[in-house]
Structure 1
């Protein structure tokens, strides 16, 4: 049988297209670690701190787990849950590092960004981890703000190239910044948190509305989710906001919060109508949460906004950024759709030829002119000239006959 290179190329291209368009199944770090009981404590705190949901939502990631016996030092400090969240987020690398890659690091060292850095809570570069290949099978890990190597690679636990890698390290990474005491959500300055992370315009507007700000602050302890429009978005909206009455301004601001804690994973599983801080009755000032894959949208009757990031996620408080100002139907009317252009008038059907005979015998449509054909106006002129010259000839003949009769 002869080898057909064209057929082989087509087959390869088809296979590549199939692989690229086939959807991938999301990984579940909790279920993966459930197969390894020696990591049960680490797995438990991934769930309690809501880091598991964030890990599952990412496509390329490495989780550095620690055995239960090596978690005692961390737990003995009785740290608040949000501080434990910061420490464990330092163990989630935003890149794929399987066992093979760890032993083939270019120039022997690598600087890996972590989930701690991605949250925006890490001061400066404290959310990065140094990885060092010491050769002879030894690979070390240390936080950037740690003067010594904190932990060493033990083994690969589970790998899904090049998507998810779960590796075991010898102990918890040490970081003064990640371990620093953090205030509980109830002690946090809500507007200060938003101002520092790209939502200053919304935060300043909220600060100037005492009733709206009180509604937000009163709900933090019981659970609060805030949807904060980014600075450029809310800045463009300010002229319309200033045209609202004081009560309408309060309602619009309160429309950007819901009185319950909803993590990203909870929003994805709890699609449907959500009451807001502005809700004052049935079907008033609510919106619909809907997810499409990894994207989560908030749908009002006027706009559909997408969640673009997470500023804070520390139960019972979570603050998200959104790409549009949420507009309730109670305050705004939907814009009328632009009318479609009127259709062009239909062409009149061809007329029947007077000389035509038989069924369906219509006058032939005009045919394209040949290159040597003359314009129709010239043809008409020629016909007119012919008629004029013929008339002159008849008149001349008649005059000759009349003169002949008169002659003697």
Structure 2
């Protein structure tokens, strides 16, 4: 029996790992109380539920059906309702106990509205104040810091992970209630430049691909924007490409469908891009390792660093490297055994355009689909193999 204990412990740890990957589900939590059915419905309709579920630490300030009527009666668009409800999702943990232990009795914390791209300055911050008589009040910082709602009760708590608190009124602010542009009115290049992706925006304009991206917005568009630093490093190789390959490479950074981060996590596998046409696949593989999501092109592996804009049907992510398609660059062959120490000499990998646009060298960011997370990928994909191995350890079969 003593021999079985280490293996049994390992099995428990692995099962816990898989359980943690599921995180929480705000829709199921709120569905237990019909008093929050309207609030719950709009969290799903605006896709805020997906954003909440992917967070490790979050507080949701839920309002009941009667309180929701205060904003629904004003005829706001779904996009404006999303901004308003974003104020009710705090990116920190506040359980009932913590509300009454706030240092100096008052604090200000960021909401998800702060990261929408619509908030300016501190307009996406919520003030929480522990007032006399054991009551706790809430107000939006850009609304003259007026405390317009108070704490009613705790709905659900999982310490330091997720807290759902019932508050008395909807939190509103002039910025959150401002008319929000419909998808057809969104100018993608302006959004990219505002969110720190000017270099990629310039690539779109220079190739004329910005029109293709813009025309796709209404039907659903997911954009993967490389950081300015990544585009700057790649610029010499980009200039060496032909006009056709420049356009194809830029289009490779867009998917003609809206894909939230939760969707990307649950739908791992090959995906088409705006460059996909006929026999030209121009696809890449979406993979995840816990909270991290990567895009594997067979030439480079890019990691999603954050969400810059999420206004369905448009979502823009920032990635840490330029996506290089195998249709232009030769795919990197992964060695079965550890390769010898690399020399300073760069391999002569020809490009579809010719030798002037060689595949990135070993000292370039993201040259190879980094396999340092391979063990984790194998463990997640082959969970049945791992469990079988532990059963073998336990029972010797």
| Deviations 1:245-298, CA, capped at 9 Å, x for gaps | 111100000010011111111111222111111111246211111222221111
CA distance in 2, matches of 1:318, 1:341: 41
> How far is 1:119 from its partner?
3.0
Identify the match of residue 166 of structure 1 among 156, 161, 164: 164
Aligned to 1:197: 195
Residue 266 (structure 2) pairs with residue 269 (structure 1): yes
Larger radius of gyration: 1
CA distance in 2, matches of 1:283, 1:29: 40
CA distance in 2, matches of 1:223, 1:267: 14
Where does the alignment leave 5 or more consecutive residues of structure 2 unmatched? Answer: 1-8, 343-397
Alignment: residue pair count: 325
Residue 340 (structure 2) pairs with residue 340 (structure 1): yes
> How far is 1:311 from its partner?
1.0
CA distance in 1, matches of 2:13, 2:269: 33
Scaled by the length of structure 2, what TM-score is found? Answer: 0.78
- Specify whether residues 302 and 157 from structure 1 end up closer, same or farther in structure 2 by C-alpha distance, changes over 3 A only: same
CA distance in 1, matches of 2:244, 2:290: 37
- Indicate the SS of the match to 2:118: coil
Scaled by the length of structure 1, what TM-score is found? Answer: 0.76
Identify the match of residue 175 of structure 1 among 162, 173, 176: 173
- Specify whether residues 116 and 207 from structure 1 end up closer, same or farther in structure 2 by C-alpha distance, changes over 3 A only: same
Residue 237 (structure 2) pairs with residue 240 (structure 1): yes
- Indicate the SS of the match to 1:220: helix
Identify the match of residue 299 of structure 2 among 299, 302, 319: 302
- Indicate the SS of the match to 2:288: strand
Q: What's the C-alpha RMSD, in Å, of the aligned pairs? A: 2.1
CA distance in 2, matches of 1:129, 1:200: 30
Q: Are 1:224 and 1:316, in contact at CA under 8 Å, matched by a contact in 2?
A: yes
Aligned to 2:389: none
Identify the match of residue 250 of structure 1 among 244, 247, 250: 247
- Specify whether residues 38 and 339 from structure 1 end up closer, same or farther in structure 2 by C-alpha distance, changes over 3 A only: closer
Aligned to 2:286: 289
- Indicate the SS of the match to 1:83: helix
> How far is 1:102 from its partner?
0.8
Where does the alignment leave 5 or more consecutive residues of structure 1 unmatched? Answer: 1-14, 343-408
- Indicate the SS of the match to 1:201: helix
**Structure 2 matches for 1:218-233, cutoff 5 A?**
218-233=215-230
- Indicate the SS of the match to 1:54: helix
